[in-house]
Structure 1
Amino acid sequence: MKKSFIVLILTSVLCSCASTKKSSKLAGNPIFPGWYADPEGIIFNTYWIFPTYSAAYEKQVFFDAFSSKDLTHWKKHEKILDTSAIKWAHKAMWAPSIIKKADKYFLFFGANDIQSDNEIGGIGVAVAYRPEGPYKDHLGKPLIDKFHNGAQPIDQFVFKDVDGQHYLFYGGWKHCNIAKLNDDFSGFIPFEDGVNFKEITPENYVEGPFMFIKDGKYYFMWSEGGWTGPDYSVSYAIANSPFGPFKRMGKILQQDSSIANGAGHHSVIHKKDTNDYYIVYHRRPLSDGTTRDSRETCIDRMYFNEDGTIKPVIMTTEGVASNKLK
């Protein structure tokens, strides 16, 4: 009896070690601890994720960032930007979007959750020489501080087209604008009709725009539903230009009652010269999914059909396998 018991214990330990070894090759979801939302994933020789710190608005006064060489082990870079560097911001620093231009990194962000044109806040820009900062205020004031076409100035995404032109997609309150950034990101270049902001809002759009190019097509994505509710989700459209028109094709990410609730506000990472696409998003754990700020950052694979349409994303707790960058 004693010998059998010892064998049983050893077998259990060996199985446990094998399981741990296998699981260590996967990222696991969430991919790092803490409440974080609105993640933007991007590659700068290393995988990077720039999320919103999910907390009460008055506590959202900084950004952390996370980097990884393989998608499975993440390093935290604390407070790469905070309100000490952005004097006009005092709360609700949201949804960072970053791009490299020449030798500088430009971080676009929302701040203060303004509700009218009479308040100070909107979309700002910070600049640094490294992805992890330190960042400083690029303009000393918001880049966009007014409502245009009904769009609240939040949820900005900076996009570089194939011709090198940079555009800013943004907008809350169920309206989305596109604007043509000037060369130093200090303002905008008017379109041919003289306006700076063109509305491109697709059906069911709420917030969180994102765009990428695949096989010459422009994939425009956004979040639908209420950000605090179980109906939060991601839909998309495909067009021949960054201006659309964008006809909604359907949802590709939504809650799974066996995994998590309220999945949305995402970005996409594509490893160059491969078919490896990853969707980076936030969701609410089933154990704490009714609390407003309980949002965690996750990664899962994103796949396409032969016709270029996106397959529905399967949310997992295991996450993705290691994928090292060369």
Structure 2
Amino acid sequence: MKIKSGNPVFPGWYADPEARIFEGRYWIYPTYSAIYKEQTFFDAFHSEDLVNWTKVERILSMEDFEWAHKAVWAPSPIERNGLYYIYFSANDIQNNDEIGGIGVGVSTRPEGPFKDALGKPLIDRFYNGAQPIDPHVFLDDDGQAYLYYGGWRHCNVARLGEDMISIEPFDDGSLYKEITPTDYVEGPCMIKRNGKYVFMWAEGGWTGPDYRVAYAISDSPLGPFERIETILQQNPDVATGAGHHGYIQVPGTDEYYIVYHRRPLPETDRNHRVVCIDKMIFNEDGTIKPVEISFDGVDARKLTEK
């Protein structure tokens, strides 16, 4: 019987993983890593112990979103008011005249099927220079939900309405606030820990070996976010292109796991990426120790354990 997850944690080419805990299970929602014309669906994986993973196929299909026609990637799900919402990138639009951007699906279960909640993209234009891709949904302690997103080296944050399918203005009337940290490229991710907002993002080019993750800490979900250091990157003896991640916090503990993709050695195909898990450890001052990427992965950890 497996006692460690091993890396990758499940077979297949997958990337951009978001990790959650739903209905007493660990879940990972990745991009199916393929050429755009084949990137037409999402699979998901769930586990009781971080070691043994079960695949759920086709939790979302592009054909159920009439406006999506090119590719879907970077899913980010959340549960609220008894429903599950999933935000994702579609069509890779290059300007405001193209149709696409960030879509949102809804389901009654974490495994879907997710159907179009709006009949159109939630965000379909370039605000503050940010390509509308790579959404990350974050639900704060006060019940306010935020959507962090952005490519082309710009990051925005927006407030989601209680219905989770609308954008609400900030107190100053604006809808999209730019919060771009130094060296930001894409793939935002937010943790709230001990009252602080730990904001992380991907740097470098996703097709190359230098893709990596850095972070900042702020007192506000809106920043400012001053870059501290790189915490996830390639190890030439293990894998390259380690980046675009999610995380798991075991409820009621200070145990954190980083869930990310990387490119196995000696792969060079840009879509040959796999999903991995390693420990993410905080220092006493709230900063993060650089992650040691591994082949072993992590020990079995059931949610019912203390």
| Alpha-carbon displacement from aligned partner over 1:237-295 (angstroms, at most 9, x marks no partner) | 0000101110000100000000000100001100011121000000000121x111000
Q: Secondary structure at 2:168's aligned position in 1?
A: coil
Larger radius of gyration: 1
User: What SS does the aligned partner of 1:50 have?
Assistant: strand
Q: Distance in 1 between matches of 2:254 and 2:197?
A: 16
Q: Which residue of 1 aligns with 2:12?
A: 34
Q: What is the CA deviation profile of residues 167-225 of structure 1, one whole-angstrom value per residue up to 9, with x for unaligned ones?
A: 10000000000001111123211112221000000000000000011111100000000
Matching of residues 108-257 of structure 1 within 5 Å: 108-257=87-236
The corresponding residue for 2:72 is 93
CA distance in structure 2 between the aligned counterparts of 1:308 and 1:186, rounded to whole angstroms = 33
Long gaps (5+) in structure 1: 1-20
Shift of 1:100: 0.3
For 1:92 and 1:237, how far apart are their aligned partners in 2? 31
In structure 2, how many angstroms separate the alpha carbons of the residues matched to 1:128 and 1:278? 26
Q: Which of 277, 297, 306 is residue 275 of structure 2 equivalent to?
A: 297
Structure with the largest fraction of strand: 2
- Of all paired residues, the percent bearing the same amino acid is 61
Give distance in 2, aligned partners of 1:80 and 1:268. 20
Once the 2 structures are TM-superposed, how far is the Cα of residue 140 of structure 1 from its aligned partner? 0.5
Q: How many angstroms apart in 2 are the aligned matches of 1:297 and 1:134?
A: 22
Q: How far does the alpha carbon of each residue in 1:60-108 deviate from its partner, in whole angstroms, 9 at most, with x for none?
A: 1000000000000000000000112111111220100010001100000
Amino acid at match of 2:87: F
In the alignment, what sits opposite 1:7?
Answer: none
Q: Which amino acid aligns with 1:274?
A: T
Q: 2:303 aligns to what?
A: 325
TM-score for both structures, normalised by structure 1: 0.92
| 46, 59, 62: which one aligns with 1:83 | 62
- Letter of the structure 2 residue corresponding to residue 203 of structure 1: T
Give the structure with the larger helix fraction: 1
Which stretches of structure 1, 4 residues or longer, exceed 3 Å deviation after superposition?
none
> Aligned equivalents of 1:169 and 1:202: distance in 2?
13
AA at the equivalent of 2:269: T
Aligned residue identity for 2:56? H
Q: Which residue of 2 aligns with 1:46?
A: 25
Q: Which blocks of at least 5 consecutive residues in structure 2 are unaligned?
A: none
